[in-house]
Amino acid sequence: MVLRRIAWVALAALSVGLIAHALWHDAEVLLRLLRKQILGADYSCFWAGAKTALHNPSKLYDFLYVTDVQGWPLGPRDIRPYIYPPSALFVFIPFALIPGYLPGFALWVGVTGALYLWAARAVGAPWWVALFPCVLLVVDCGQMPFIMGGLVIGALALKDRPNLAGVMLGLAACLKPQFVVLAPLAFALDGRWRTLIVAGVTAAVICAASVLIWGPQIWLDWLAALPRFKELVTTNIGLLRTGATPYAWLTRAGYQGAWAYLLAPFAVAAVWFAFSRPMEPADRLFALFGATILISPYAMNYEYVLLAPSVAIYLSRVRDPRWPAYLLCAAGFFAYIWHPPALYFALALPLVRYTPAPLPIAPPQLGLFKS
């Protein structure tokens, strides 16, 4: 028994050391990023798209035009398009109307970050998930995972408020539809049909409003822009290096990225397994978001924010005999968010938990582990 306790403490200490090293490295990378680009460099695409929709909507999916509207974030040679559907403009425009770019960016990060943290806490994540490197990366660049995570995780958490959950899920579909492609299956398996109906009505109303305001041609322009955006991504080595998907990894290695779609049956099976039976929120989030990233053609390292609440929940389980193994998985998650595959380390957490036999070690009976 003494040797098992020593082994547990030794493995936990090693894991903590690896996490500390990974976090130190992440802090250095974040500081270098701050010196390289301005705050809100990715938010500039939303801002420019909203400005274009207000003043020259026919140019919304003209990549060079929208890049020129931004002008300054990363230099004139960096193509930075607006590629979100027209329905997303209803969220972006209010922030673009705020006088000054930085005030709008600060409000965007504040509002969407608060929504994300609320949703994470609602499913049981500790507050310190806000300090995760991938979360701080989104604070720096102003990307979409805060609002997408807040809406989808919040919809999952609000089981007793199906109408509000449906509105949130429908809005998420209007912002980034590829990231809710598996959500209908998840909510249907969970028996939340009213939420799905309200989500469909919400999305239909928002899309219809966009057609009434900007006309149907803007949707055709968006569909025509998607192949051009795909070509832009798959020929950019920097984007491929930080891509979070198997599609990006295969493309970077010189293979056909579409081979990644062979993972689709496994992704559907994971969602089916997680939502067809009682299961904790952390594991359901791993299944839903992990499966989505696996089959998505385009997702960047900041999308790991969607997995962060589940990782934090596992890290907080200090009384679990497998906790040192959770720490090791988390160390890999932190160490590889810049050049993936952090995804694999995150998805290893539920696999470790549900291994048939427990680890041959046990936590020491210290005060830290008492209720």
Residue 124's region, left for phi above 0, alpha for psi from -120 to 50, else beta, is left
Q: What is the pLDDT of residue 100?
A: 86
For the chain, which ranges sit under pLDDT 50?
A: 360, 366-371
- C-alpha torsion sign, points 140, 61, 98, 102: positive
Distance CA 334, CA 315 (A): 12
Q: What is the pLDDT of residue 27?
A: 78
Q: How far is CA 210 from CA 54, 60, 87, 88, 179, in A?
A: 12, 13, 6, 9, 20
Tell me which residue has tokens 């509207």. 69
- With beta carbons less than 8 A apart as the criterion, state whether 302 and 134 touch: yes
User: In the structure encoding, which two tokens stand for residue 256, read together?
Assistant: 């056909």
What are 251-278's pLDDT values in tens digits?
888 888 888 999 999 999 999 999 999 9
CA atoms within 13 A on the CB side of 350: 18
Q: What is the pLDDT of residue 234?
A: 84
pTM metric for this prediction = 0.90
